[in-house]
Amino acid sequence: MIAALEHFAPHHQELRTRLIRCFLAIGICTAVAYLFIDHIAAFCMRPLFLAYPPLAHLVYTRLTEAFISYIKLSLLTGILASSPFILYQVWMFVAPGLLDNEKRIARRVVFWATMLFAGGALFAFFVVLPRTLHFFMSYAGPGLEPMPKLGLYLTFVARMVMAFGIAFEIPFLMVMATRTGLVRADHFRSKRKYFYMVIVGLSFLLAAGDITATVLLSLPLFGLYEAGIIAGRVFAGQGRTDEAESP
């Protein structure tokens, strides 16, 4: 037991060091983001003001709401800004124990997962969010004045961006499930209609019942699902070729 602990001690120390570096990076990036929080918040609020030009400002009804909302936004910005450094620390901790082939696979996994998440987040903010806000603000009129709260609005934006970012990981997850043998290569094609119903249901929930947002989320997810099916076939074929060539 003592020998095992002594063997694990260097790895434990390295893990501790890299975790400390990750938290420091998040803290530094969060602090820097807070220095520019007015510009970051204005950037996040811009789609709302464009969707309804008569709206000049947001409101907050609790004394601590603006402060807490800005802290949350700074923290989220800090995490996103420090994510490359965090991924690098994770890679440096894991890489020494991987074979060359496993390192290549890991690099591809990290690259495509990051690109898909970033693509989903950008699609949400620049495409879906403006149209969704335009729909919600269309109810405003002479007898109904909108007074969006700062905290609730920033939470709405963050949830939508995160939801789309995670949703865009669908092809990646499908390929991984196929390559690891969890499902057959034709599983997602044969069960397409059931997955489509699940996608519509999840999109409806993520869009908080808004039909416009549901359609805007469902359509790209359908395309991503079909892309996942095609990618699964391609990578499954490559896997069989590699197995046939291996001695």
Q: What is the pLDDT of residues 181-192, one digit of tens each?
A: 677 767 788 888
Q: What pTM was estimated for this model as a whole?
A: 0.74
Q: What one-character-per-residue DSSP string does the chain give?
A: -HHHHHHHHHHHHHHHHHHHHHHHHHHHHHHHHHHTHHHHHHHHHHHHHHHSTT----B--STTHHHHHHHHHHHHHHHHHHHHHHHHHHHHHHGGGS-HHHHHHHHHHHHHHHHHHHHHHHHIIIIIHHHHHHHHHTT-BTTB----BHHHHHHHHHHHHHHHHHHTTHHHHHHHHHHTTSS-TTHHHHTHHHHHHHHHHHHHHHTTT-HHHHHHHHHHHHHHHHHHHHHHHHHHHHHHHHHHH--
pLDDT of the chain, 247 residues: tens digit per residue: 444 434 445 667 888 888 999 999 999 999 999 999 999 999 999 999 999 999 988 999 888 999 999 999 999 999 989 988 888 888 887 777 767 776 777 777 778 778 888 888 898 899 888 988 888 888 888 888 899 999 999 988 988 888 788 778 877 777 777 776 677 767 788 888 888 888 888 778 766 666 776 787 788 788 888 888 887 777 665 554 444 444 4
pLDDT of residue 38: 94
